């Protein structure tokens, strides 16, 4: 459990410096200027959070269901 929390913390700290742009977005951002490019990158990361949160919630519910059914057997 502690190892998982540590890994999650490291991943979250590295997310701030991640370049979450495809090649087309990178080319567009380079033409927009630094401040607009940072805003575009922030928006991409923000939109990326929702699918990961949904998948994490589904995975957690599945894991909890499996754990409770295994304990009941």
Helices (H), 1-73: 2-15, 23-32, 34-72
Stated pTM of the model: 0.51
Task: Name the average pLDDT for the chain.
Answer: 81
Is residue 27 very low, low, confident or very high in pLDDT (cuts 50, 70, 90)?
confident
- According to the model, what pLDDT value does residue 73 have? 66
How does DSSP classify residue 55?
H
Q: Is the pLDDT of residue 20 over 60?
A: no
Helices (H), 16-33: 23-32
Phi, psi (degrees; rounded to nearest 5) at 11 = -65, -40
Q: Is the pLDDT of residue 60 over 80?
A: yes
CA 66/CA 69 separation, integer angstroms: 5
Is residue 14 very low, low, confident or very high in pLDDT (cuts 50, 70, 90)?
low
Chain centroid offset of residue 28 CA = 23
Strands (E), the chain: none
């Amino acid at each position: 459990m502690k190892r998982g929390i540590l890994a999650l913390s490291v991943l979250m700290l590295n997310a701030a410096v991640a370049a979450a742009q495809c090649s087309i977005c990178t080319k567009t951002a380079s033409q927009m200027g630094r401040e607009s490019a940072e805003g575009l990158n922030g928006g991409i990361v923000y939109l990326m959070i929702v699918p990961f949160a949904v998948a994490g919630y589904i995975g957690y519910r599945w894991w909890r269901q499996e754990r409770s059914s295994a304990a009941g057997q």
